[in-house]
Amino acid sequence: MVSLIKAMNGYYDEPRKDLASTLFQPKMLFGLVVVWFLVVSIGSGALILATNSSLMSDSEVEALLSENARLAQVANVAYAEADEAQHEYEASTIPVFPDRLVIPKLGTSLPVSNPQTRNIGALDEELKSAVVRYPDAATLGQQGGNTIIFGHSSHLPVVRNQLYKAFNDIETLSVGDAIEAHAGRDVYSYRVTRVYEASANDGSIPLSVSGHRITLLTCDTFGKKSDRFVVEADFIGKNI
């Protein structure tokens, strides 16, 4: 009986020994390593390919941005959906667009353009002949809205087009200084509440505010994000 059991144990041990000796042979070990390396390489390559195909190039991302989103991005102004009403008007309210901006302390009187386009190139062209109200910004006197106006500034000794110096020295304005926005014979008066230098990477200029505000910003171009001076002024009344 004992001999039979030993014989049976030998029968079952032999295949295990053969399998172990086969697996741990140098050639077999080398083959397993090669197979493992191929599996890892192929898997990694497939993962990288899938990741790259899911990433979009800058031009592809640009193509997905709406013109409105692109403008908000480069001008550092809060994004607004093109098809949504940014500010609610009462049924009887007619938007009042500024046609001239006056800053008594600086002795400046500037034409104001109110373009409907959001095309960055077109807005750059507008800045050559006027200061520009941001397309999605509030109109004059609009409660809850911010009338955002861009203008060039340049301290070069010789500038042929004086509109490139439109907002020169706005950083010298002080709290309490007056700003006037004209619309025909109507004058909307504002008092400066804040003057600061802003990085283009700082928080965006809001389109909605409490009360009503006018905000002046210098800029090199709508298509270039750079540091700029910002002047905020609160509405105090009309024709005062």
Q: Rounded to whole angstroms, how far apart are CA atoms 201 and 80?
A: 18
What totals of helices (H) and strands (E) does the chain contain, helices first?
A: 5, 8
pLDDT at 25: 64
Q: Give the pLDDT score at 157.
A: 82
Look up tokens 């077109």; give the residue. 122
Name the residue among 162, 174, 189, 177 with its Cα closest to residue 101: 189
Nearest to 145 by CA among 88, 60, 68, 203: 88
Which range (2-16, 18-32, 206-220) has the least confidence?
A: 2-16
CA angle 71, 202, 109 (to 5 degrees): 65
Residue with tokens 């990085």: 199
* Average pLDDT over the chain, rounded to an integer: 78
Identify the pLDDT of residue 89: 44
Residue 228 above 90 pLDDT?
no
Report pLDDT for 72.
79
Q: What is the DSSP string of 83-109?
A: TS-SSPPPTT-------EEEEGGGTEE
Q: How many CB atoms lie within 10 A of CB 121?
A: 11
What is the C-alpha to C-alpha distance for residues 102 and 187, in angstroms, rounded to an integer?
A: 10
Confidence of residue 135 (pLDDT cuts 50, 70, 90): very high
- Domain range list for the chain: 2-54, 95-238
Bridge-partner residues for 152, per DSSP?
none
Residue 20 scores a pLDDT above 50: yes
Banded model confidence at residue 203, pLDDT cuts 50, 70, 90: confident
Instruction: Please check the confidence at residue 221 and state whether its pLDDT lies above 90.
Output: no
Residue 74 above 50 pLDDT? yes
| Per-residue model confidence (pLDDT) at position 110 | 97
3 pLDDT exceeds 90?
no
| Mean pLDDT to the nearest integer, 123-141 | 94
Contacts of 130 (CB under 8 A, 6+ apart): 110, 111, 112, 113, 163
The label of the residue with tokens 């500010």 reads 87
The per-residue pLDDT for range 77-115, each reduced to its tens digit, is 888 764 444 444 444 478 999 999 999 999 999 999 999
Contact 183, 139 (CB under 8 A): no
pTM over 0.75? The answer is no
Give the mean pLDDT of 159-177.
93
Residues 6+ apart with CB under 8 A from 76: 198, 200, 202, 204, 205, 225, 228
Per-residue CA distances from 90 to 95, 124, 142, 182, 213 (Å): 10, 32, 10, 22, 19
Highest mean pLDDT among 144-158, 183-197, 218-232: 183-197
- What's the pLDDT score for residue 170? 96
Residue 56 has pLDDT above 60, yes or no: no
Looking at the domain that runs over 95-238, which CATH code has it been given? 2.40.260.10
pLDDT at 85 (0 to 100)? 45
